[in-house]
Chains A and B, each alone.
Chain A
Amino acid sequence: METFIAIYIFILAAFTGYEVISKVPVILHTPMMSGSNFIHGIVLVGAMIALGFAETGLEKTIGFIGVFLAAGNALGGYVATERMLEMFKSSKKDAE
């Protein structure tokens, strides 16, 4: 990968993240943190690749732990966020 292309991606992604969260009401800070916590669960893809190409026993063991942890991040993060946001939906209905 061209180093400069990667730097461009880093910078643009950083601005995107900054923009997306700068207009969030305080009400949504916790669900938002939980949601962004879920999104870095994409580390699962990397952990799968690391384990998928692991050869020695040591690499496989660490890779396995990696996939295990990453799957926890992704699924736990999803369910936690979903449960929180579900309440917002129901409260909205009650209010109306």
Chain B
Amino acid sequence: MLSSEIIIQACYLIAAIVFILGLKRMSSPTTARLGIVWAGGGMLLATAATFFTPGMGNIELIIIAIVVGGGLAWITAKKVAMTDMPQMIALYNGMGGGAAAAIAAVEMFKVHDLEISVEILAIIGGIIGAISFSGSIIAFGKLQGIIKGSFRFKGQNVVNLLMMLLLILISITILMDFELMRNPVVAVFIIALIFGIAMTLPIGGADMPVVISLYNALTGLAVGFEGYVLQNYAMIIAGTVVGAAGTLLTQLMAKAMNRSLGNVLFSGFGDQSISAEGGTENQGEMKPIESSDASIMMAFAQKVIIIPGYGMAVAQAQQKVWEFSQLLIERGVDVKFAIHPVAGRMPGHMNVLLAEAGVPYDLIYDADEINQEFKNCDVALVIGANDVVNPVARTDPSSPIYGMPILDADYSANIIVVKRGQGAGFSGIQNSLFFLDNTRMLYGDGQEVAASLVQTIKEL
């Protein structure tokens, strides 16, 4: 081994160690920030070392690609609003998957003798990367609102299954006679890309967190496999760590919704429910309330639990909501925030937004921690949340969300729901909570409503 190669390998080793330490640090709020800085340092070191790989050519092309690709991503990531972060993560993740697929393609087009194990992992990594690429872009489009609704037709699962079989079949033919097969390689990538699109399109927005997390794990796996192809230990370790961590995270999220991963991927949740539930089957009517009345009700309550949802994120209402909460706390009201594991578009999405507004950790509770407290709660204030407080999940076995753990807002003495209009939630399911006798609807944009709540309480 050349001495320069030893130095490069040492750099990769350091990068791999720093990644794991960085990830470890990111798992605790106090050290999290330093964790990403560490990992960033590792990435910088590994990238710089790669430039000195003996025999490297096309240096100008590499630099141009890094500056343009990295620059665009840098600018968009700096500019994007915090609420749009989930789709940006989906997008950057898709780019990583695409890069893994590109590595596989380059290695497979090259004429050189590869071991059979290398060939197999190259093609599997390429397929996974391509699926993650196109799937993540669809997920991005859905969350960004470019792609609306769920696309579904009868026998979709059969078509997907056939595509999967076709992928395996062509892959095997390629492996049988690697040197002679160039066109099938192209076919494999095209089918994998279509498969990623077909797999993601029917999935409803409520399930997107799970899907993004799954693609994150898949990209990690693809990177690990391509690392084996290139005999690059840093890629193998980093990719596999992310693959395993991402798989666990995906399972945790699917579990929080009381659904299996297969169910999320193949059941077409959002679409079915719209056709099944259709219009307003719920009896009774929604009873509106004025914001001044709502504000006074909470000002004289003993205990208020606030349940934020995606609607709060869209309205950018978190700051105003926290301001209102602080005024309540000053009046001696016991205020707590209850966060459902899948509220928002990613796990912890609401936590990030509340942290941005300055809400301290000790006021924020998980569903398990707070569900018993709703019984003693005077007012449950639901802001932009819908499916995660729908009692139907407990009561109606025919509902698509039956069995999903929810926040038991319906057990509290009074419920105030802040909502833009009378429509159903993201999953398209009517919410029976809205029709309860002790529920009042406070219509309007989240931020404006919160502002007027603040106004009223200040005038008291």
Contacts and interface: CB of A to CB of B under 8 A. Distances in A.
Contacts of A29: 249, 252-253, 346-348, 351
A16 B88 CA distance: 27
A48 B58 CA distance: 9
B92 interface: yes
B348 A17 contact: no
B70 A42 contact: no
A13 B232 contact: no
For chain B, what secondary structure do more than half of its interface residues adopt (helix, strand, loop), or is it mixed?
Answer: helix
Given A72-B70, A80-B85, A1 B231 contact: yes
B61 A51 contact: yes
Contacts of A62: 102, 105-106, 109
A91 to B, nearest CB: 4
Nearest to B349: A30
A84 to B, nearest CB: 6
B36 A52 contact: no
State which size class the interface on B falls in. 35 or more
A35 B235 contact: no
Interface string A63-83: 111111111111111111111
A50 B89 contact: no
A31 to B, nearest CB: 6
Interface residues of A, number: 84
Interface string B203-219: 00000000011001001
Contacts of A87: 82, 352, 355-356
Interface string A19-51: 011111111111111111111111111111111
Contact of B74 (A21, A63, A75): A75
Contacts of B66: 44, 48, 67-68, 71
A60 to B, nearest CB: 6
Nearest to B56: A52
Interface stretch (B26-34, B161-169, B292-300, B420-428): B26-34
B228 A26 contact: no
B106 A28 contact: no
A42 B223 contact: yes
B361 A45 contact: no
A31 B359 CA distance: 17
Kindly name the residue among B39, B106, B236, B356 whose own CB sees the greatest number of chain A CB atoms within 10 A: B106
A90 B213 CA distance: 27
B53 A52 contact: yes
Nearest to A36: B242
Contacts of A53: 55-57
Given A53-B55, A76-B76, A10 B224 contact: yes
B73 A70 contact: no
Given A26-B341, A37-B219, A72-B92, 11 more contacts: A13-B236, A20-B27, A31-B348, A39-B241, A40-B219, A42-B15, A54-B106, A58-B109, A65-B98, A75-B74, A95-B360
24 contacts: A15-B244, A17-B246, A17-B248, A18-B244, A29-B347, A31-B32, A35-B26, A38-B43, A41-B96, A42-B19, A43-B226, A45-B12, A45-B47, A49-B53, A66-B98, A66-B99, A67-B66, A69-B96, A73-B99, A79-B74, A80-B89, A83-B82, A91-B355, A95-B360
